[in-house]
């Protein structure tokens, strides 16, 4: 293709710049109103104050934030532990009912999460499992909506790795369990981490399922923010909102630094 310059391309660049502006304006504004000196989310901010940040960093908000981190971490771990055998079974074996299981494992993605939430709410309530509401029910609900991400990401890794490597190891006499642990698992490592991160973020930012499965004192941060809605959007909430952005950013930076998921996310396939 010819080098893309000229008027149409310049206009496109202008449109792109405006789109980025549209994407980031509300987020930047949210961050800025947290520095208001008055207890009103004014933009541009009136004066400058850090006191709303003191509020945001108090127990009242740190408790649900920490709750969300724990919930998202455990969700990512369990969704990966369930997603790995599921993806392995679906990609490596043909068996009756396989197609149904494929549809089933992607199902939570196709149905509205909100409906899954009220389904679990009613089912647990009726089945006499109301004691589960709070952390256990939230964990179950989050694993359900995260499983498609986990299965899909791991299945992509399993399909991308050369199948001959597993065969070679088996031909050399390694038992299936050993082939899996010593050949397959190391090769799909980046896919496993990427899937777990998708799950963490999906869980951390979810509100649709959490809306119906929380209970007092056991609320994720998104629900804690949402249930504050009647008091309006105070600068404290703006500060809390920025705090919730920091968690996934730190997580991605840390995992990228220690384990390297970049090759998965950018689709580079090193078949080494």
Partner 1 sequence: MSVAALASRPSRTIIAWRPILLVGVPAAFLLFCFVLPNAFLLTSSAFKSESQVLTNQLTTENYGFLLGRAVYRGAILRTFLIGALVGLLVVVLSYPLAFFLARTRSRWKGALIALSLSPLLASVVVRTYGWWVLLNREGAVNDLLRATGITSQSLPLLPSVGAIVIGLTHSLLPYGVLTILSSLNGVNPSFEKAAMSLGANRIRTFFEVTLPLSLPGIVGAFVIAFTLSISAYATPAILGGPSTATMATLIYDFMTSLADWALGSAMGALLIVSSMVLLVIGAVLGSKREAL
For the segment 8-47, give every residue that binds partner 1 (CB under 8 A).
Answer: 8, 12-13, 15-16, 19-20, 22-30, 33, 40-44
Contacting range for partner 1; rule: CB under 8 A; set: 144-152, 165-173, 183-191, 253-261? 144-152
Instruction: Note whether 80 binds partner 1 by CB under 8 A.
Output: no
The CB-of-170 to partner 1 minimum distance in angstroms stands at 13
Contacting range for partner 1; rule: CB under 8 A; set: 51-59, 94-102, 165-173, 188-196? 94-102
The CB-of-192 to partner 1 minimum distance in angstroms stands at 15
Site for partner 1, residues 50 to 79, rule: CB under 8 A: none
Contacting range for partner 1; rule: CB under 8 A; set: 47-55, 99-107, 167-175, 184-192? 99-107
Instruction: Note whether 91 binds partner 1 by CB under 8 A.
Output: yes
Candidates 75, 105, 184, 236: give the one binding partner 1 (CB under 8 A).
105
The CB-of-105 to partner 1 minimum distance in angstroms stands at 7
> From residue 260, how far is each of 119, 158, 256 by CA, in Å?
38, 18, 4
């Amino acid at each position: 293709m010819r080098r893309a310059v000229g008027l149409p391309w310049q206009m496109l660049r202008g449109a792109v710049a405006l789109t980025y502006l549209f994407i980031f304006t509300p987020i930047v504004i949210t961050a800025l109103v947290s520095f208001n000196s008055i207890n009103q989310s004014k933009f541009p901010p009136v004066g400058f104050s850090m006191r709303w940040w003191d509020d945001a960093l108090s127990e009242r908000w740190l408790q649900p934030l920490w709750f969300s981190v724990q919930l998202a971490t455990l969700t990512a771990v369990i969704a990966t532990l369930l997603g790995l055998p599921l993806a392995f079974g679906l990609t490596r074996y043909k068996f009756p009912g396989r197609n149904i299981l494929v549809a089933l494992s992607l199902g939570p993605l196709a149905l509205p999460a909100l409906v899954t939430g009220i389904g679990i709410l009613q089912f647990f309530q009726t089945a006499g499992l109301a004691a589960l509401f709070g952390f256990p029910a939230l964990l179950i609900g989050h694993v359900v909506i995260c499983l498609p991400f986990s299965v899909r990401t791991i299945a992509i890794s399993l399909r991308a790795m050369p199948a001959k490597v597993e065969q070679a190891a088996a031909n050399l006499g390694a038992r299936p369990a050993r082939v899996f642990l010593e050949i397959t698992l190391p090769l799909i490592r980046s896919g496993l981490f990427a899937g777990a991160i998708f799950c963490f973020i999906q869980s951390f930012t979810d509100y649709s399922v959490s809306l119906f499965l929380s209970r007092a004192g056991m609320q994720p941060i998104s629900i804690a923010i949402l249930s504050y809605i009647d008091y309006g959007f105070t600068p404290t909430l703006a500060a809390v909102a920025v705090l919730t952005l920091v968690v996934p950013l730190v997580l991605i930076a840390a995992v990228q630094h220690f384990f390297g998921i970049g090759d998965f996310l950018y689709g580079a396939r090193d078949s080494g």
